[in-house]
Amino acid sequence: MALRQARATCPYCGVGCVLDVKSQDNALVQITADPAVAPNFGMMCPKGALLFKSDAPKRRLATPMMRENKDAPLREVSWKEVLRYTADRLTAVRGARGPDAVAFYGSGQLDTEASYLFTKLFKGYLRTNQMDTNSRLCMSSAVAGYVQAFGSDGPPTCYNDIESADTFVILGANMTANHPVLFNRVRRRRATRDSARIVVIDPRRSKTAEYADLHLPVKPGGDVALLLLAMRRLLEQGATDTAFIDAHTEGFDALKDLISSCDPVALHEASGMTASQIEAFAGVLVGDRRLLSFYCMGANQSTAGVDKNTALINLHLMLGEVGKIGAGPFSLTGQPNAMGGREVGYLCHQLPGYRKVTDASHRAEVERLWDIAPGSIRPTPGRSAVPMFQAAADGEIDALWIACTNPAVSMPNVSVTQAGLERAGLVIVQDCFKDTETARYADVLLPAATWGEKSGTMTNSERLVTRSRAVKDAPGKAVPDWQIVAAVGRAMGFDGFDFTSPKQVWDEFRKTTAGTPCDLSGMTNKRLERGGLHWPCSAESHPGTPRRYTDGRFPTPTGKARFHAAKPRGTDETTDADYPLAVMTGRVAAQWHTRARTGNVPELNRQAPEPFIEIHPDDAKAFGIDDGGWAYAVGRRGRALARARVTDKVTAGTVFLPFHWGDSFHPETAANFVTTDAVDPVSLQPELKFAAVRLEPASAPEATSAVALEEVAR
Ligand SMILES: Nc1nc2c(c(=O)[nH]1)N[C@H]1C(S)=C(S)[C@@H](COP(=O)(O)OP(=O)(O)OC[C@H]3O[C@@H](n4cnc5c(=O)[nH]c(N)nc54)[C@H](O)[C@@H]3O)O[C@H]1N2
Ligand SMILES: Nc1nc2c(c(=O)[nH]1)N[C@H]1C(S)=C(S)[C@@H](COP(=O)(O)OP(=O)(O)OC[C@H]3O[C@@H](n4cnc5c(=O)[nH]c(N)nc54)[C@H](O)[C@@H]3O)O[C@H]1N2
Ligand code: SF4
Ligand SMILES: [Mo]
C-alpha cells in the first residue's frame, strides 16, 4: 500500500505538539515535527517521537463485543447487534430507574467532536446531567479558580509569553517530565536572558526543581501559606501595583485584612518555609519583571486546590502581572483536549460555551441551539466523578458508559470504583484496546479508532485549536468516537444525531460558542487546515486571540478581576503515629497514565519498567527499607507495592509514588489503593497529592506483566 502522510496533534500532553506522521502498508512508521509549525516548532519529546511504536495491533479492540449476562463471556458481534442491544438497555434502565440511573464517564483525551456529542446526547436527549470526566481529577480546580478570579475559565496567556517573561514560578508542576517541550522553551529563555529566573515550588526536588534558581520545598498542601507569606513581604516592601489594583480589581482590602490577621509563625509552620526562603522568593518578584506562573497537579489535586489557584492568581493581580505580554497565571492542562472538553461543557455542571446547567438562560439558549423542547435540560448538576462511582457501588447507577479513560486504575480510592464497576448492571466501555483494567468489567465493548486513524479537533493548554488527521485506517470494525455516540443516539430514536462527517459536528458545535467567552465560531475546518488558532475567534475574518484581558477588563459583572481571601486550611487526611508519612502520587517522563499506550513501547518501558516509591534515607532507616528492595505503602484504605528508591529528593516525612502501574501489572501495584477520595469543596476535585501511610518491607513480586505486555504488543 502507498505511503501516507498527515499532520496530527500529539495524543499525550496538553502542550499539543503538532506532528507529521507517516504510515506504510497501514502501519505507522515515522514521526517528525516541522520547525515552522506552532506550538512546538520542530520539537518533540520521546513519547511523541516514539508514537509509531505505541499502536500494538494485537491488543486492539477491532470488533464490538457484548454479553447479555454477567456470567457469560464476551462474544464478538456486529455493530448492528451491539447498537440495538445498547440502545434498548439504556432505554430500559431509564424507563425502570429514571434518567439519573444512566451515567457517562469520559476523558480529556476524546476529541472535541466526540465530547460535544456525548454532552448533547446525555444532557439534551437522555435528560440527565450524570456525566463527568477524568478532567474532574485533573483540571476542575483550575476551572473554578479562573472563574472565581476572572469570571471565566481559560488561561489569559499563551506560549509566546515565555519569550518575554523574566520570572517563572512553577508551582506543583514537574514540567521536564510532563510538559517537556514547553519546558525547553522556558530553559531557552533562562539561558538567553541573564536576568531570567526560575522558581520551583514543589515538596520534591524534581528534575524541574534541579533547573531552578530557587527551589522552595513547600510542605505538602502548604502552598496557600507560602503564597500568603510572599504577599505579606511584598506588601511590606510596597511592591504592589496600586494603579492596576485600583483600576482593574476588587476585593484587595479583604485580602490585606486576611494577610495582616494571619500569624506569620503559623504560616511558616504550615508552609515549611524559612524567612530567608520567602525573602529570596520576594526578591525575584519585585521590580520591573514580567511574571509568568505555570501550575498543574500539585496545585489542582488538593482539598485546597481552588484556594491554591486563587492564591497564585492573587499574587499576579497584586503585582499587575495579568493581561501583559510575558505575564500571567498559566494553568497547564494535562491531557491533549481537556481544554476542548471544557468548551463543550462535559463536566456535570457545564453546558457548551462555558455555560452552566444551573443558569436558566443558559439552558434555554442551548435548548434553542439543539432544537429540543424547553425544559429538556435539567437544572441541577449531576454527580461528579468520585460520587458517581460511589453511587454505582451503592446500586444507584445501573448503566455506566465509559469512554477513553481507565478508571479502574486512575480513580482515587480505586477499590470503591472497582466495586461500582462490579455492581452496575450495564457497563459499556468504549476504548481502542481490549485488555485495559476497566475492560475487565465490561458488558459491552465498543471499538474506537484511535490517534492517527481519525480526524478531529483539540484545544491545547494555550487555547490553541488544532486539527488532527488520519494517516492510516482503523483496524477491523473500529470507528471514531463521534461516530459511535451518534450511532447510539440514532439507535435510541433521537433526531439530533444525523452526522456523516466530523466537519458537520464541528460546524454545529462552533456555532454554539458564538458570543461566549470561548467563542470559536470563526474557526472553520478550512482555516484550521492551514494551522492552529487561539480562541476567542468570533468571525471567519478574526485572527484569533493569543492573549486575553489585555485591556484590563474581565468578564465579571463589574468588569474587574476579583481577589480571593482564602485562609490556609489543613489537608483533610492527616498523618499520625500509625501512618506518619504523606504520600504524593504523580508521574514519570516515560509513562503516560495507565500505560495503555506507553506500555507498548520498549524504549519507554526500559526507562520506567516498574512501580517505584521515593523514600528519604531517614524514613527508609526507620522502616527498615533497603534501596532497591520492595516495600508496601500501607494506608488507611489499602496498600500499594513498589520498589524502593532511597533518595534525598523527597523530604523526610514524604514519599512519592507514581500511579502508572495498575493492578494488572501485579495485583498489589495500584497506587490508588492508598489514595483518599476526599475532594475540594468547590471544585470537587479529589486529593491525589496527600494520603497518610507507613512503610513495610516486602519481598519482590514473583511475576509482573511488564515484559508480557510488550511482547503482546509486537
Ligand atoms: N510523561 C507524562 N506526561 C504527562 C502525563 C503523564 O501521565 N506522563 N499526564 C498528563 C496529565 S493528564 C497531567 S494532569 C499532567 C500533570 O503534570 P504535573 O502536575 O506536572 O504532574 P504530577 O507528577 O502529577 O505532579 C506534579 C508535582 O506536584 C508535586 N506536588 C505534590 N504535592 C504538592 C503540593 O502540595 N504542593 C506543590 N506545590 N507541589 C506538590 C509533586 O511532587 C510533583 O512533582 O501531566 C501531563 N503530562
Ligand atoms: N494516584 C493518582 N491518580 C491519578 C492522578 C494522579 O496524579 N495520581 N492523575 C489523574 C489525572 S490528572 C488524570 S488526567 C487521570 C488519567 O487517567 P485515565 O484517563 O484513566 O488514563 P489513560 O491511561 O490515559 O486512559 C485512557 C484510555 O483511553 C484509551 N484510548 C486511547 N485513545 C483512545 C481513543 O481514541 N478513543 C477511545 N475511546 N479510547 C482511547 C486508552 O486505551 C486508555 O484505556 O488519572 C488521574 N488519576
Ligand atoms: S511534549 Fe507533550 S505534546 Fe509534545 S510530543 Fe511530548 S507528549 Fe506530545
Ligand atoms: Mo490530568
CA distance 53 to 606: 14
**159 CA distance to ligand 3 centroid (A)?**
14
Counting ligands in written order, the one closest to the CA of 587 is 1
Dist CA 377 CA 120 (whole Å): 10
Mutate to test the pocket of ligand 2, among 107, 421, 450 (most ligand atoms within 8 A of CB): 107
Q: Which ligand is nearest to the CA of 45?
A: 3
Please state which of the ranges 403-407, 499-503, 625-629, 698-702 shows the lowest mean pLDDT: 698-702
Average the pLDDT over 52-75 and give the result.
Answer: 96
Q: Which amino acid, 510? A: R
CA dist., res. 580 & res. 585, Å (int) = 16
Mutate to test the pocket of ligand 2, among 410, 488, 655, 663 (most ligand atoms within 8 A of CB): 410
Dump pLDDT digits (tens) for 174-208.
Answer: 999 999 999 999 999 999 999 999 999 999 999 99
Surrounding residues of ion ligand 4, Cβ less than 5 A: 138, 334
Cell numbers of 107, please? 476523558
Q: Does ligand 1 lie within 6 Å of residue 218's CB atom?
A: yes
- Contacts of residue 194, defined as CB under 8 A and 6 or more positions apart, other chains included, come to none
The angle formed by the CA atoms of residues 225, 233 and 235, to the nearest 5 degrees, is 110
**Ligand 3 atom index nearest CA of 181:** 1
Ligand 1: distance of its center to the CA of 345 in Å? 24
Q: How far is the CA of 361 from the centre of ligand 1 (A)?
A: 37
Domains of the chain: 4-56 (3.30.200.210), 65-138+336-512 (3.40.50.740), 140-331 (3.40.228.10), 581-713 (2.40.40.20)
Q: What is the number of the ligand closest to the CA of 223?
A: 1
DSSP 219: P
Distance of alpha carbon 466 from alpha carbon 449, whole angstroms = 19
pLDDT confidence of 366, banded at 50, 70, 90? very high
Asked if 33 and 10 touch (Cβ cutoff 8 Å), the reply is no
pLDDT per residue as tens digits for the range 65-74 = 999 999 999 9
CA–centroid distance for 308 within its chain: 17
- pLDDT at residue 211 is higher than 90: yes
pLDDT surpasses 70 at 170 = yes
Nearest to 408 by CA among 435, 374, 384: 435
Q: If you ran DSSP here, which 8-state letter would residue 583 be given? A: E
Report residue 1's pLDDT band, with 50, 70 and 90 as the boundaries: low
| Strand segments (E) across 332-481 | 350-351, 355-356, 399-403, 426-431, 444-447, 456-459, 464-468
**Does any ligand 3 atom lie closer than 6 A to the CB of residue 604?**
no
Predicted local confidence at residue 570, as pLDDT: 83
pLDDT value for 2:
87
- Which ligand 2 atom lies nearest to the CA of residue 671? 1
Q: Flag whether pLDDT at 57 surpasses 60.
A: yes
CA of 504 to the centre of ligand 1 (A): 36
Residue 711 scores a pLDDT above 80: no
Residue 540 has pLDDT above 60, yes or no: yes
What pTM was estimated for this model as a whole? 0.97
Q: Is the CB of 11 under 6 A from ligand 3?
A: no
Residue 713 is predicted with a pLDDT of: 46
Around ligand 2, the residues with Cβ closer than 6 Å are 107, 109, 134, 137-138, 297, 301, 334-335, 403-407, 410, 430-433, 436, 448, 450-451, 481, 585-586, 593-594, 596, 659, 671-672, 675, 688
Average pLDDT over the chain, rounded to whole?
97
Atom nearest to 13 CA in ligand 3: 2
Mean pLDDT for 553-579 is: 95
Atom of ligand 3 nearest to the CA of 46: 6
Beta-bridge mates of residue 133 = 106
d(CA 179, CA 158): 14
Per-residue confidence (pLDDT) for residue 464, from 0 to 100: 98
Contact status, residue 594 vs residue 436, Cβ threshold 8 Å? yes
Say yes or no: CB of residue 183 within 6 Å of ligand 3. Answer: no
Q: Is 61 in the pocket of ligand 3 (CB under 6 A)?
A: no
Cis geometry, peptide bond prior to residue 543 (ω within 30 degrees of 0): no
Q: What is the CA(135)–ligand 1 centre distance, in A? A: 14
Instruction: Using the predicted structure, report yes or no on whether residue 709 has a pLDDT greater than 50.
Output: no
Distance of CA 4 to the CA centre of its chain: 32
Cα-Cα-Cα-Cα dihedral sign, residues 481, 484, 488, 491: positive
- Residue 706 in this model has a pLDDT that exceeds 60: no
pLDDT bin (cut points 50, 70, 90) of residue 702 is confident
**pLDDT at 707 (0 to 100):** 47
Strand stretches in 524-617, DSSP E: 533-534, 561-562, 581-586, 612-615
Closest C-alpha to 433, from 592, 603, 658:
592
